[in-house]
Chain A
């Protein structure tokens, strides 16, 4: 069992790491700091339950995810800034008039090599930040929280087909972004 003092110090070290995760999803400094603070408090209270087989970061992110969902639900009444939601340009340019890819999707080299690099996740983070707010939220709820599309529709107050469109836009934008910022920027895995 970890002594209370060193647990507290270790938790503090994780703060900036957790803030990055929270900022990606909440897009609001205050909300992100609140969520992280709640997470660290919960961790201190539940510290004796920490199983040493997973890393501390992973355990904390698990708690943080719940706090984030709580925040998102509380924020639900506030409309997300919709600027750029209808930005079809990049998507339209992806295909030519006959419906073929304008540029053939690259074969991305071994994923494991990318996943070991901090810089990859920084690039990924930037790409997600570049998405319009609602698009990003749909993607994050689906891919990071594992919500089913029906649940996402409910959270975002949109129809099922709208949900699929948002997820499609998110994925196509992200792959374009990664092709530009990671796979062709000399950072080949």
Chain B
């Protein structure tokens, strides 16, 4: 059983590469029972979106 620490690395890696089959299965299993890691993943999704929108609302008030 993978720890949250190990899974957090997988969650990050999944943002950059397609995970191998074993990792993908382990990740999905873990996320199905771990709210913390689900929150963590949502936070990383949020970060991605924030970076994409940086610098955000400009001088003209538009993004």
Residues of A within 8 A of B (CB): 13-14, 16-17, 20-21, 24, 55-58, 61, 94-95, 98-101, 104-108, 111, 114-118, 120-121, 124-125, 139-140, 142-144, 148-149, 163-164, 167-168, 171-172, 174-175, 178
| Minimum CB distance partner of A101 in chain B | B36
Instruction: Tell me whether A99 and B47 are in contact in the complex, defined as CB-CB below 8 angstroms, given that A20-B55, A171-B12 are known contacts.
Output: no
Q: Check: B20 CB closer than 8 A to any chain A CB.
A: no
- Report chain A residues within 8 Å CB of B46: 108, 111
Residues on A with C-beta less than 8 A from B28 are none
The interface residues of chain A, by DSSP majority, are classed as helix
Query: B residues bordering A, Cβ < 8 Å?
Result: 3-6, 8-9, 12-13, 15-17, 35-37, 39-40, 42-44, 46-60, 62-63
Residues of A within 8 A of B3 (CB): 95, 98-100
Query: CB-nearest residue of chain B relative to A149?
Result: B16
Known pairs A115-B56, A164-B12; A99 contacts B6 (CB<8 A): yes
CA distance A118 to B3 in the complex (A): 37
Taking the nearest CB of chain B, how far is it from the CB of A133, in angstroms? 17
With A55-B62, A115-B63 known to touch, is A108 a contact of B54 (CB < 8 Å)? Answer: no
Look across to chain A and name the residue whose beta carbon is closest to the beta carbon of B2: A99
Contact between B54 and A21, CB atoms less than 8 A apart: yes
**How far, in whole Å, are A101 and B8 apart by their CA atoms in the complex?**
10
What residue of chain B has the Cβ atom nearest to residue A15's Cβ? B59
